[in-house]
Amino acid sequence: MSTETTFTKEQHRELAVSLFNRTWVLMDKTDRTEDEELEMIHMAHTSRYHWGVVGDHVNWSRGEWQISRMYALIGAGEAALKHALANKRIHDHYQLTGFDAAFVAEALARAYRLLGETEHMKAHLAYAHQQVAHIEKESDRDYVLAELATISR
């Protein structure tokens, strides 16, 4: 089976953005059906695939973050951790800082919380809080802190 596609770069980008945004809508929904949960899983992975074709390391990181967060929302700790660790590899290779580094740590903390690994969760929460100091925009800092507050210590 060939993995070659006939999409243009613009089409890949449009699909990546559209699927990311649609996934976000389903992530925000509190009363998802089982079919919507499966749709959310498929869209998050497909968005990340398209970012892999046309995006850069920030897009890849945010795609892995979204997949990890989506799995955390549905209680799939192992899958959440797998994608949080994929995001950490991107973080380590490209030396992400600030907003994106904070969300790498947020995803790890959330996944470790689901898996009952409290010490790992605390360590990644602490790192995320350190990264907040490097975020220039106040609204971004506030957003990160609000998200971190949703992870129980």
Q: What is the per-residue pLDDT across 103-122, written as a single tens digit (0 to 9) for each?
A: 999 999 999 999 999 999 99
Which whole number is the average pLDDT over 1-28? 90
pLDDT value at residue 3: 63
CA dist., res. 72 & res. 58, Å (int): 21
Q: How far is CA 119 from the centre of its chain?
A: 21
pTM score: 0.94
Residue 1 pLDDT exceeds 60: no
Confidence tier at 153 by pLDDT (50, 70, 90): low
Could you tell me the pLDDT band of residue 15, with boundaries at 50, 70 and 90? very high
pLDDT at 6: 86
Q: Under 8 Å CB-to-CB from 96, ≥6 apart: which residues? A: 57, 58, 61, 90, 104
